Structure 1
Amino acid sequence: MPLSLFRCRYALLAGLALASITTVTSAKPPPALTTFMQDGGWCWYQDPRAIISNGKLLVGGVSGQTGDVKVSVYDLTAEKDLGTVVLHPNFQVDDHDVPAFYARPDGSVLAVYAKHSNERIHYYRISAPDDYLQWGEEQQFVHDFTGRRGVTYMNLYHLDRPGLLYNFFRDGPTFNPSFITSPDHGKTWGNRTHFISDEVDGTHRPYARYLQRDANTVGITFTDAHPRNYGNSLYYADFRDDAFYRVDGSKIKDLADGPLTTSEAERIFQGSGILTDATVDKSAPLSAWTSSAASDAAGNPHIGYTLYLDDDDHRYRLASWDGTQWHDREIAMGGKCLYPRESSYTGLVTVDPADPRRITISTDVHPTTGKYSGGTHEIYTAQVELDDDITTIKWQALTTDSPDRNIRPIVATGDGYRAVLWLSGPWRTYLDYESDVVGFIEKL
């Protein structure tokens, strides 16, 4: 089927019920916004990019002007900005280098960061337990592989059994999700392991997002490849006790038998499966891309992801497991891509880790109808139940009439607080941005 027919067919089917829906709810006024970090940016394949620990909000970012890797600290009780620390000056102007955080048992915080596939080095520092503006000397874990590609995308998750901290990242030699582990909460690292393997002809890179289902289980949702190269499907699996499982608990295989492949995992959404010419800017039609994932109080995973129809037409979808089956539905219009070369870059959709029914999105069109009114990317939020779809969801605007883009929202929760954060300001490419981290705090 021609690519244009793929796009038109999906757009027609998805849009039939939208003609009479034209409003966004204004039940309450937008919240007052706070700037938590000036001159900061982030990508969305590293987590946690912000955490709450001991009543403090820690926010990571990379300067778009100097390339400094930074952490800003905000006192939630005093409602006061405590300051910003540069973890590594002049690191690299690239929002892929944002640190991931882990709250250690002694009250200190670990920050891990790496360059955008340029080096085989993981950099890390550990804060003082009682002062997040004081950090120990920078340490390095250097891989022994060779080749031009390095590591990127740090993600930190602890599993009580076997008592290890995992850093899930994209490896250099394989271009695939891999991990290293630490037995001492981030002081020392080792055990590089190939975790997920692609099955697309050529060299390709599955994009993975992670969530903590329970103290012993990490959920993984991932794609076949980059959406510029392939019409991605979306997959899911659990990892615990050095083995992979389906969401219902049935075992797939042991990690000792090799990395998980897409054909072994559970497919949630089926993309077009079209392999494209990587020299063109457009993405493959009907190509999914992971955005955010979290588990609810029962441990059920909820996955927010994007779907590419065309450069000017992206859709936000939510896949939720209810303990028996997946509910996968379209929930909002994502609007236009952020710039043509990265035609699947959107404002993104994020799932609240404290309540995955609460969804926050960034879009430059009406979230329900897709109508473009000449504005820029704004932030919206809504409560999305299992039986909701795009025709029933009532979006509340958190920003309006903004002079610059508001993109890439995230939510951090803990200590009875919720921090809703996003990037606001001029943002042109992942190498060229002047955004700040803004948002608001709520008590849970």
Structure 2
Amino acid sequence: GDAQHVPWIVDLVLDHNDYPVSIYSVQYNSEGLPVGQGGDDLRYRYARWDGSTWHNYPLAYAGCRLYAGEDDYSGLAAIEPDDPSIVYISTNSDPVTGNPLISHSDEQRHYELFCGKTNDGGQTWTWTALTSNSTKDNLRPMRPRRTNKKNSDRYRTLVWLRGRYLAYTDYLQEIVARIWETNNNEKDGEDK
């Protein structure tokens, strides 16, 4: 990065060759701004090591900061531990266009969750909304690594925080989990 593109690591896994794959966020257009006035344009990037070269690609628009003063705080993202071609992001902007996500439920801008899939090592992505038109923010998705391989290819679990996050000392959130069969559409599943 540089003063115009401030990077912030979000997630890191090892692929089947034990090479690192990473998502990081970048703050755009905030150079020279005082703390609390930047962070209106955050974007996710996807980087992977192939054994000799880093491949680094735009992933998605991450939206704006969670709150003033922590201008790099995005909704965060997670990489599927057993398949780095699948990622989960939290954003309050359309991941492709960057347009604000305004909920039809309450006419407010909220962070929503999306699942992204790449078939070309991260150069291009297709996106599926996992939440939409929410009345609360959906933040900090996590993909627990499977320790029991029984049925491990059959089910996926995504865990995240849902609710208000005004600061690291001021929040009202619940932990949500979604479990679904992998042969179903990524949007299927029930929040628990």
Q: Look up the match of 2:115.
A: 381
Q: Are the aligned partners of 1:314 and 1:346 in contact in 2 as well (CA < 8 Å)? A: yes
> 1:413 aligned to 2:141?
no
Report how far residue 419 of structure 1 moved. 1.8
Contact 1:421 1:439 in 2 (8 A): yes
CA deviation map 1:181-235 (0-9, x unaligned): xxxxxxxxxxxxxxxxxxxxxxxxxxxxxxxxxxxxxxxxxxxxxxxxxxxxxxx
Deviations, residues 27-83 of structure 1 (Å, cap 9, x unaligned): xxxxxxxxxxxxxxxxxxxxxxxxxxxxxxxxxxxxxxxxxxxxxxxxxxxxxxxxx
The equivalent of 1:438 in structure 2 is: 176
Q: Which has the larger radius of gyration?
A: 1
> Residues 358 and 373 of structure 1: is their aligned pair in 2 closer, same or farther, counting only changes over 3 Å?
closer
- Corresponding residue number in structure 1 for 2:187: none
Letter in 1 for 2:140: R
8 A contact 1:381–1:396 mirrored in 2:
yes
Which amino acid letter does the alignment assign opposite residue 346 of structure 1? Answer: S
2:85 touches 2:121 (CA, 8 Å); kept in 1?
Answer: no
- The structural deviation recorded for 1:442 is 3.5
Determine whether 1:429 maps to 2:167.
yes
TM-score by length of 2: 0.78
- Write the deviation string for residues 76-131 of structure 1: whole angstroms up to 9, x where unpaired: xxxxxxxxxxxxxxxxxxxxxxxxxxxxxxxxxxxxxxxxxxxxxxxxxxxxxxxx
Q: Which amino acid aligns with 1:426?
A: R
Which amino acid in structure 2 is aligned with residue 434 of structure 1?
A: L
Aligned positions of 1:134-149 closer than 5 A: none
Supply the distance in 2 between the matched residues of 1:410 and 1:373 (Cα, whole angstroms): 21
> Number of residues paired by the alignment?
161
Instruction: Provide the residue aligned with 1:334 in structure 2.
Output: 62
One-letter amino acid matched to 2:73: Y
Whether the 8 Å contact between 1:300 and 1:322 is mirrored in structure 2 is yes
**Aligned to 1:413, what secondary structure does the other structure show?**
coil
For 1:402, the equivalent position in structure 2 comes to 134
1:45-64 aligned at under 5 Å gives the runs none
Matched residues in 1 for 2:131 and 2:63: separation? 16
Q: Which residue of 1 aligns with 2:26?
A: 307
- Judging changes above 3 Å, is the alpha-carbon distance between structure 1 residues 297 and 373 closer, same or farther for their aligned structure 2 residues? closer
Question: Is there any run of 5+ residues in structure 2 with no aligned partner, and where?
Answer: 31-38, 103-108, 183-192
Q: TM-score if structure 1 supplies the norm length?
A: 0.35
On the 8 A contact 2:49/2:55 being kept in 1, the answer is: yes
Say if 1:306 and 1:314, in contact at 8 Å, map to a contact too: yes
- Counterpart residue number, 2:189: none
The residue type paired with residue 368 of structure 1 is: V
Deviation at 1:321, TM superposition (A): 1.3
Could you tell me whether the CA contact under 8 Å between 2:23 and 2:46 is conserved in 1? yes
1:178-217 aligned at under 5 Å gives the runs none
- SS of 1:339's equivalent in the other structure is coil
The answer (yes or no) to whether the contact 1:426–1:434 under 8 Å persists in 2 is: yes
Q: 2:85·2:122 contact (CA, 8 Å) conserved in 1?
A: no
**Pairs within 5 Å for 1:355-370:** 355-370=83-98
Aligned with 2:81 (options 353, 370, 391): 353
CA distance in 2, matches of 1:388, 1:298: 17
Distance (Å, rounded) in 2 between the aligned partners of 1:442 and 1:403: 23
Task: Return the letter of the residue paired with 1:354.
Answer: D
Structure 1 residue 373: Cα displacement: 4.1
Q: CA RMSD in A?
A: 1.6
**Higher-helix-fraction structure:** 1
Q: Give deviations 1:218-261, integer Å, cap 9, x for gaps.
A: xxxxxxxxxxxxxxxxxxxxxxxxxxxxxxxxxxxxxxxxxxxx
Measured in 2, the distance between the counterparts of 1:348 and 1:369 equals 18
- 2:170, 2:82 → 1: CA distance? 33
Contact 1:413 1:419 in 2 (8 A): no
Distance of aligned partners of 1:405 and 1:427 in 2 relative to their CA distance in 1, 3 Å threshold: same
